[in-house]
Amino acid sequence: MSQPVQPVTLPVMIGQLVSQAPVTEPEPLPTQTEPPKPQPTPTQRRPAPVPPAPTAPPSERAVAAPPAEPPAPPSSEAAVAEVAPAPTPPPAAPAPVAAEQTVPVIRPRSDAAHLSNPAPVYPAVSRRLGEQGRVLFDVYILPDGTVGEIKLKRSSGFARLDEAALEAVRQWRYVPAKRGDQPIPYWYVQPIDFAMR
């Protein structure tokens, strides 16, 4: 025998329509101005200050706060670290430059007899044309007395004379510059004169 079919009831949603009333902004309240404070006249007196109320002794029921504990003594390592001042760096060794500046520098020489530096060759064309003048070179002299580098500082005004002077100075040897007894490299201004005699 089959069981009777039970009716299924579906949930019903009940709602209410709410009409939306137009929103009106409230009207601003009228601003109230404060009445001016009355200014004391010279004849008015200020009220006397009220003395403070006497303090009453604490009641017997008051709970006393426990005394504050003294801070724990620092450990010995921490105490030493706090007491010991930071180590100061050792004084810097005097710069060698300062010592070098006190020792005078002896400039190089090219005219020592034992060097046998040949004079520059006066170009024949320059002699014929009457070219003469002074050439200046910046010469970098190495500690062994040889020429490391040459730069033309000032021309004689004639390229042939400048070139002849350059060729001669390249082969020269010098007594090197010295600081005390120590030979040092040195930039030296070397003049070369070409003059008709």
Assess contact for 188 and 148: CB atoms under 8 A. Answer: no
> Tokens at residue 139, please?
């010469």
Q: Tell whether the model's pLDDT for residue 120 goes beyond 90.
A: yes
Task: Please calculate the CA angle 190-191-192 and round it to the nearest 5 degrees.
Answer: 120
pLDDT for 73 equals 56
pLDDT for 11 equals 58
Q: Tell whether the model's pLDDT for residue 80 goes beyond 50.
A: no
User: Using CA of residue 72, residue 78, residue 84, residue 88, what is the dihedral sign?
Assistant: negative
Residue 115's φ and ψ, nearest 5 degrees, are -80, -30
pTM of the shown model: 0.48
C-alpha gyration radius of the chain? 55
Calpha distance 147→117 (Å, rounded) = 12
CA distances from 38 to 34, 41, 44, 152 (A): 12, 9, 11, 97
pLDDT in tens, 158-169: 999 999 999 999
Domains along the sequence of the chain with CATH: 123-194 (3.30.2420.10)
Q: Tell whether the model's pLDDT for residue 132 goes beyond 70.
A: yes
Q: Where residue 142 falls among pLDDT bands split at 50, 70, 90?
A: very high
Assess contact for 108 and 176: CB atoms under 8 A. Answer: yes
